[in-house]
Amino acid sequence: MATEQTFIMVKPDGVQRGLVGEIIARFEKRGYQLVAAKLVHASQEHLEKHYEDLKGKGFFAGLVKYMASGPVMAMVWQGKDVVKQGRVLLGATNPLQSAPGTIRGDFAIDVGRNICHGSDAVDSAKKEIALWFGEQTPTIAYQRSADSWI
Ligand code: RTP
């Protein structure tokens, strides 16, 4: 199996609404492998770094405040084309444009409360994984017996 990795995060609203298990289940059932995970209550400073590309946007301050309002579930998922397919599983950024069957399309209606985040490219995945888990990301390598069937 290819070793591409992505950074997926259940945002504070997803954690508060009890959707962590549902989101993990969707990635697992698709065939992806969870290789690192932790619950984190991130600081504003950390979140400003995570969203530094959006610094000029009008919604930036509100976004950081929302993301710092409670714990998030930070995860590294691995598997074939997981960066692109992870975004497909999440659905469009604005839930009103997310297809039913996607996570946002099934559980969200507001762009400012869209319950999950996924890296948008292999390079940004690497940067985000390093930011949230450190340069020496403690991913666990393991072989599931089902992997040869996926
Ligand atoms: P994400 O990073 O969360 O996966 O989202 P994305 O790449 O699809 O979208 P991006 O443009 O990077 O926006 C990051 C997050 O900012 C919030 N947002 N609010 N108009 C608004 O109020 C607005 N636009 C974006 C969303 O929570 C979005 O996921």
Confidence of residue 1 (pLDDT cuts 50, 70, 90): very low
**H helix runs in 91-121, sequence order:** 103-107
Q: What is the ipTM metric for this complex?
A: 0.92
Cα 128 to Cα 125: distance, rounded to the nearest angstrom:
5
The mean per-residue pLDDT over the stretch 22-40 comes to: 97
pLDDT at 150: 86
Residue with tokens 């929302």: 66
Is 117 considered catalytic here? yes
The mean per-residue pLDDT over the stretch 26-51 comes to: 97
Q: According to the annotation, is 87 in a ligand binding site? A: yes
3-state secondary structure of 92: coil
Residues 6+ apart with CB under 8 A from 22: 103, 107
Confidence of residue 90 (pLDDT cuts 50, 70, 90): very high
**How large a percentage of the chain has pLDDT more than 90?**
87
pLDDT at 136: 81
Which residue's C-alpha comes closest to atom 17 of ligand 1? 112
Cα 109 to Cα 115: distance, rounded to the nearest angstrom:
10
Domains belonging to the chain, first-starting first, are: 5-140 (3.30.70.141)
Residues 6+ apart with CB under 8 A from 29: none
